[in-house]
Chain A
Amino acid sequence: MLSVEGLEAGYGRARVLFGVSLEVTEGRLVCVMGRNGVGKTTLLNTIMGVLPATAGSVTFEGRDVTRLRPDERVRLGMGYVPQGHETFPQLTVMDNLMVTLEASPHRDPTALEEALEVFPRLKPLLKRPAGFLSGGQQQQLAMARALVTRPRLLILDEPTEGIQPSIIIEIEEAIERLHAAGLAMLLVEQYLDLALRLADSFVILDAGRVAHSGAAEELRGEQVHRLLAV
């Protein structure tokens, strides 16, 4: 469903990605791992069109989306939750959800209720400005916002980073449930045990290249641990 082929990207003259290829098939959860600064966020941003690809291609459901704008990719069914639990801080929680719903192709209000069922903690907070939520609540809002568009592929960048442990559990459960319901996901996750519990397969990046990829069982080897050690 998502196919990334020889992707290259960077910032100005500094190249970060050197020909990354990966595949997410229908209903699978693929986890991207790697040390800090290897280019995980850069990869996701390029897949979403926030950064232009200088070479290579991104194909989604058989369609080449490499040159599309981010909003066009969202409307095709790619949902993105960027790193750092970003929200629109001055909009209320409700408006954060509404603004995404109104930009989605289906505009179906029941999608909003469904997203709130996944994150019931948000329900009593709907009228509050998003900027005043805790980091964990903001992360749940960020994920709920992506769900409101009814994506067929959900791309998550470190959803548990800097979040209090009690909410990490809720987020993990939400990811598990969405995965069980058949949603395909591309997940960047630093916690190895969490990644092992959730993922069907792995892509390990090192210095902007795929150093290793394969099924979950293969991840326990010596060499893999060396690639992930901080």
Chain B
Amino acid sequence: MTLSPTALRQGARKTIMFVIAFGLVAGAWEGYKAIGPERSSKVFGWKIIPSASDQAMPHIGSMFSRLAKPEVRGNGTTIFHAVALATWYSFRVALFALVLGVIVGLLLGVVMARFRITERALMPYLIVSQTIPLIALAPVLVSWSGRLKPFGFQFEKWMTAAMLGSFLAFFPIAVASVRGLKAVKPESLELLDSCAASWWQGLIKVRLPSSVPMLLPALKLSAANAVIGVLVSEISIGLKFGIGRLILSYSQDGSSDPAKVYTAIFGAAVLGLVMAGLVVVIERTLTRNRPKETAR
């Protein structure tokens, strides 16, 4: 990809907008701290005015300075190091979850687009599958992957987390691909028919490429779902090393070290941003040659 002046200008504008947005949130946070009450109070019996104490809302500055200090007193490695490692670990699991989810979603989409009856049979189950809470599913999958050893293959815990992530990630892709694969223009289908193209050739040469504009927004959703799925399942299956687990364990130090948990939350935010950036790169690559209307 070559960067044209307009692309650079757009990139600069996006960066500035991002900094401004961050500044606004930080400003609101610090602003509330300046005027908010020291203790939370009730309105009509509901506790809705949060406390602005350093205990409940640490200063933004102390969150960042916390990054540079050791994780636990006396230990050499900084929190920054620990958070970066955990984020990197979770990123790889989430990426695996996304890839798995996209593959499964596309396969389901292709099958459902090919055989109408499978769409009617499968779709209700797919929708129901998304209403099952991940927390409920996690223990089941953990016990299965502990017992099942296909061809002597031993599931590891991170794979279980990735599978749970893909369980959320596949759905948008499956839905978008059925629609996209079936929304081919009739004249395109006539052209394929006139050349006696097989269904498979039509899929590869026409149906898949023509559904790219529908798949890209779904990919964004899937990437976000994969991250959420992996973080939640890290916590619920007790997978060490990941950023989800780190959030949980840091929050337990909340009373003595309130800024600590926010460093882990930064890590999770960066993870989300990197995933979103990856999707943008994929999007740019796939829509490079498309008319500007669909490339947006």
A and B: interacting chains: no
Residues of B that sit less than 8 Å from A by CB: none
